[in-house]
Amino acid sequence: MDYKAIQELIKTVSDSQLTLVELETEGMKIKLEKKQEVVSFERIPEVVKTVAVEQQIPVISELVRSEENEQVRAQQVKQEGTIVTSPIVGTFYASPGPNAEVFVSLGSKVKKGQVLCIIEAMKLMNEIESEIDGEVAEILVENEQMVEFGQPLFRIV
């Protein structure tokens, strides 16, 4: 494989939704891995404005109500957990081989970077790793099921 072919491979992987490509050819092994950037944000409570002076609505009660709403939302997010989605279209595999033990099962404790499953796309095996520490609360697909880009695979809390 010449330098130009390697450059084309890198450009193709960069432009695609693939996150991992391993290629062995002509006595050479190439592994290209793309880490997805995770963006998280916190919602800052809005400043409460009192417009209705005639109704004598205390500002403190509005602030308490706003804080309670934020706590309810935070609890909902905690219950929902983090959804791991498929970065590519392919076939979902829960284990590295037909007779091998599954990577994770319901209730498994996982660490950031731990392999959760494999998605096969065009004969390439792409390991899907956990982006957080937590516990597998839900497995949303069956072994050997076809998955779409962005389809939820796991819920981790």
Residues near 135 by beta carbon (within 8 Å), at least 6 away in sequence: 107, 108, 109, 110, 156, 157
Predicted confidence (pLDDT) per residue in 3-62, tens digit: 677 778 778 877 777 777 787 877 778 777 776 655 545 555 555 444 444 444 455 555
CA distances from residue 48 to 53, 59, 133, 149 in whole angstroms, order as listed = 14, 7, 36, 41
Tell me the pTM: 0.51
Count of residues for the chain?
Answer: 157
Predicted confidence (pLDDT) per residue in 141-157, tens digit: 999 999 999 999 999 99
Mean pLDDT value of segment 106-129: 93
